Amino acid sequence: MKKWAGVFDTDTDKLADEFNSSLSFDKRLAVYDITGSIAHAAMLGECGIITTSEADAIIGGLNKIKADVEAGCTIEGEEDIHMWVEERLTRDIGLAGKKLHTGRSRNDQVALDIRLYLRDTIDKINSQLSDLLKVICDIAEKHLDTIIPAYTHMQKAQPTTLAHHLLAYAEMFLRDIGRLKDCRKRINILPLGAGACCGTGFPINRERVAEILGFDGITQNSLDTVSDRDFVVEFVSVCSLIMMHLSRYNEEIIYWSTGEFGYITLDDRFSTGSSMMPQKKNPDMSELIRGKTGRVYGSVINLLTMLKGLPLAYNKDMQEDKEAIFDCADTVSRCLAIFTAMLPSLKYNKENLYKAAAEGYTNATDCADYLVKKGLPFREAHHAVGSLVKKAMKKKKPLDKLPLTDFKSASQLFEADILEVLKIENVIQARSLAGGCAKGVVKERIAEILNKLNLF
């Protein structure tokens, strides 16, 4: 009979046992379950709820189990990790092991395990994001002068530098670090002491357990504590943003590496071939990251749907949170690892990038701005330059290769210096405002980002 089967006349059906069991996946919480139990036992002993010798025996037994788990022992035979630890402890130390569960429920226990797991997971992912940002900044530093086209609507818009382009993604990942750190604050609140749903009648010291485990405080409503997983949804939602940013970055790598663009050459170490077409070199790492983004999005929907109709307080539906959490965390971590390794291997074809930036009349805006600085209203300048671009297209020439007479025919405000203004290098350097693409601005921002990472 189960440990909870006091009012039951018969065992549960074998099929029900298998359906109800979570040990196959929640066993990865074993170390966290033991860590929380050690803190709980220490507090019970300090409060005199169990004797000091009983507390010492429990803690000693739990540390032995923890060592075995870390050594890779087999975990099987119980319905969940909490029952497995308790059964193993009782088998090892005897009657004292049965006193460990005094003043707590599996409901607040699992909430604690998840919070402990997510704290470590967030720290790991943030460390990976920091590593990725350092790689991006290193590549950007090497390409401060590499000119590329910037796009809007997938049409060439204005010239910029590869460094400026890469830092756009750096800003995204920097915000992701901030989101995870903020999410961690809400996770780092101790749930233990909420019991099954209404706390416990034992005079436990929740603040002491929070202190032992490094939590910033304790939860303030036992019903809420055991019945909500909004902190889990928040974590997975932040992960979905990380994956969205990774997916966007890899989307560009995919089409930049095509023959049609020819901006990037993929390294053999991070590419695959075709079983049929000998010439193929496929960006499978980037495609897999793009594809795996959907898995993380799915975890968000999974959790939101699981929680949306639950009445207070705990419901077994909440067992479904763990596989979503684990799959999400594993997916994000693996994608960050492969992407950070792959990124430095990319070779940028500077000539193709420069040629692309010089084509498509990406300096047209600066041509209009030139007239505005001479006093012409922007809308009139826009129209004048539009007619000039049309003429350049007919002649199949870039703007800065047109004769001055063509500029004069569009507006008498044009002078000979317009040809110098329209050089791609000068267009970029003109954007020296904060956030712009001028070399000095970008270089300064690289230093600021690296400094922020050091502060983290």
By three-state DSSP, how is residue 348 classified? Answer: strand
* Chain centre distance of CA 174: 10
12: which DSSP letter? P
Annotation marks residue 274 as catalytic:
yes
The CA distance from 40 to 32, in Å, is 12
**What backbone torsions phi and psi does residue 125 show, to the nearest 5 degrees?**
-65, -40
DSSP letters spanning 153-170: TTEEEEEEEHHHHHHHHH
DSSP string, 183-240: HHHHH-EE-TT-TTTT--SS---HHHHHHHHT-SEE-S-HHHHHH--HHHHHHHHHHH
Q: What is the DSSP string of 426-451?
A: HHHHT--STTS--HHHHHHHHHHHHH
How far apart, in whole angstroms, are the C-alpha atoms of residue 385 and residue 365?
8
Identify the active-site residue in 24, 127, 274, 387. 274
Q: What is the SS3 string spanning 359-421?
A: CCCCCHHHHHHHHHHCCCCHHHHHHHHHHHHHHHHHHCCCHHHCCHHHHHHHCCCCCCCHHHH
Residues 237, 297: contact at Cβ < 8 Å?
A: no
Left if phi > 0, otherwise alpha if psi is -120 to 50, otherwise beta: which for 153? left
Would you please indicate which residues are annotated as catalytic (active-site) residues? 153, 274
